[in-house]
Amino acid sequence: MPPLFPTQERETYIIREAVPGTPPATIGVPIPVMTMKPSDKPMWLPDESMQGFMGDNAGIYQGPLIAGFDIGGHVTTDILGHFLLNLLGDYTTVGTPAAPNTTASAPIAAGATSITVASGGASYTTGMNLWIEDAGSPAANEVVTVAAGSTATNIPLSTPTRFAHLTAVPFTNTTTTAYTHSFSLLNGLIGAGPNGAAQPWTHTITDRTGIPLTGLAAQYSYCCLSDLTITGNAEKLLDWSAKGVCQVRTIPGSPVTAFTPVSAVQPYPAWRSTTALGAPVATLVKDVAEWSVTFTRAVKPYNTTQGSQQPYVIGRGKQSTSGKLVISPAIDESALIAVLANTQPQAEFVATNTASSGLTIDIGLPAYETADLNEGSELFGYDVPFKAVHTAASFTCTPFTGPLTGASGGKSAAKITLITTTPTF
């Protein structure tokens, strides 16, 4: 009998790439997925020249190679950040302070692998997660991890800094109680991934199926998301789904034989999420049966005459944010009034599971496009799609206060905040 490969034993992993298109040495963290559909898509080049016969082509040749994938599951705050970083790119982190703490005695460059201190560096031990408390405008807060070999005046890092920091910037060890991660649209150079200006980080996704002859898994590098949707339906768990492009399947350098348990972070029943609309202080709205927010990104593989079928680069272009409110039952005509008056009411969606696990999506100006009456089987409702406006303005609601932009400044249509025990994505 041939070997069998049960789909239920599939395990999918994700890890950030230091070099776009180059899988890291390890496969990263497991993702609890409901859907993972990779597709390798060679470009086929037919020879359609007329050669004295009635056939349609005289040969089919293989051109550039590219792949894509659909992926998704229930929202867990320790995983969603990887995908938000990939699509949006601007990312800052604030930790919960713990001893020891000190200040840098020299400037810290973006990409630095160590921090210089005047004294006391030896008290920082391997594996500590340090919150660099940047006070810039905008603030480039981040968390980095200490590597082995700290001395009195030098603290090595296993995770390079994303941002540059001035001399005397304070930093502190953190507890694993909770980290607050903020994601928004990356603009300009600050905090960019290895591909430079306004280009988010790329990731490698490893899909362990057991099917390949060697490696037991398919590996997809240079993953770039083209869209990501988060959906809160009151009768379901809070869900996410995404699509992207990547390089074609390769086999991991080492067989992926071991099962890695996913974290203990639990998904959310979406009925526990709340929707707030209006400004300056958002008003809780209780007649939203379903909300969804979609982040899309223009993504294009660039094929060149470089002697390789792989794309030379995969470029990320403009980013859009849209969504939809399903109001059911409708208790007033506020949605229709907002459309006709073009009020673009500030929106906030909050899902908090525990003190160390939460998701908040803030949208400053969701421009309602329509408010079509939905004739439900018993009660009327409204279907309200919206498209968000990119803005640098500050907004106030609970728990969010401040601009939608991150460390890179510019403008953003939304800011997504995750609270999790994961120190960095």
Confidence category of residue 347, pLDDT binned at 50, 70, 90: very high
The full 3-state SS of 13-73, as one line of letters, equals EEEECCCCCCCCCCCCEEECCCEEEEEECCCEEEECCCCCCCCCCCEEEECCCCEEEEEEE
Residue 193 has pLDDT above 80, yes or no: no
Q: What is the pTM of this model?
A: 0.95
**From start to end of 89-158, where are the E strands?**
89-103, 114-116, 129-132, 142-145, 154-156
Percent of the chain with pLDDT over 70: 99
Residue 402 domain flag: yes
Mean pLDDT (whole number) for 278-295: 88
Question: Same domain for 350 and 221?
Answer: yes
User: Cα torsion at 70, 76, 82, 86 (round to 10°)?
Assistant: 50
Given a cut of 70, whether residue 398 has pLDDT beyond it is yes
- The answer to whether residues 294 and 241 touch, using CB atoms and an 8 Å cutoff, is no
List pLDDT tens digits, range 105-164: 999 999 999 999 999 999 999 999 999 999 888 889 999 999 999 999 999 999 999 999
49 in a structural domain? no
Q: Are 349 and 232 in contact (CB under 8 A)?
A: yes
In this structure, the answer to whether residues 82 and 110 fall within a common structural domain is no
Residue, of 219 and 284, whose pLDDT is higher:
219
Is a pLDDT exceeding 70 seen at residue 253? yes
Q: Are residues 24 and 69 in the same domain?
A: yes
Task: Give yes or no for residue 2 having a pLDDT over 90.
Answer: no
Q: Is there a single domain that holds both residue 83 and residue 123? A: no
Q: For 306-333, what is each residue's pLDDT tens digit?
A: 999 999 999 999 999 999 999 999 999 9
Contact 200, 86 (CB under 8 A): yes
166 and 213 assigned to the same domain:
no
CA dist 218 and 210 (Å) reads: 9
Provide the percentage of residues in the chain whose pLDDT is more than 90: 82
Q: Would you say residue 350 lies in a domain?
A: yes
Instruction: Please indicate, yes or no, if residue 52 is contained in any of the structural domains.
Output: no
- The chain-wide mean pLDDT, for the chain, equals 93
Residue of 423, 13, 78, 21 lying closest to 202 (CA atoms): 21
Q: How many domains does the chain have?
A: 2
The pLDDT score that the predictor gives to residue 280 is 67
Query: What is the model's pLDDT at position 20?
Result: 96
Separation of first and last alpha carbons in the chain: 43
CA distance 300 to 314: 6
Residue 418 in this model has a pLDDT that exceeds 70:
yes
One domain, residues 210 and 150: no
30 and 157, same structural domain? no
Token pair 């990119």: residue: 390
Residue 18 is assigned to a structural domain of this protein: yes
Q: What is the pLDDT of residues 373-388, one digit of tens each?
A: 998 789 999 999 999 9
Across the range 39-66, mean pLDDT stands at 95
For residue 279, pLDDT over 80 is answered with no
Six-digit token pair at 285? 């709205």
pLDDT at residue number 397: 81
Looking at the structure, tell me whether residues 286 and 392 fall in a common domain. yes
What does the alpha-carbon distance between residue 416 and residue 425 come to, in Å, rounded to a whole number? 14
- Residue 163's closest CA among 131, 122, 185? 131
- Contact predicate 209/249, CB 8 Å: no
Indicate whether 112 and 168 sit together in one domain. yes
50/6 Cα distance (integer angstroms) = 48
- One domain for residues 286 and 249: yes
- In a domain? residue 55: no
Shared domain for 110 and 170, answered yes or no, is: yes
Taking the C-alpha atoms of residue 378 and residue 328, their distance in angstroms, rounded to an integer, is 10
Whether residue 221 is contained in a domain is answered as yes
Same domain membership, residue 36 and residue 151: no
Q: Please give the residue range of the domain that contains residue 148.
A: 99-131+144-174
What are 166's two structure tokens? 């001035």
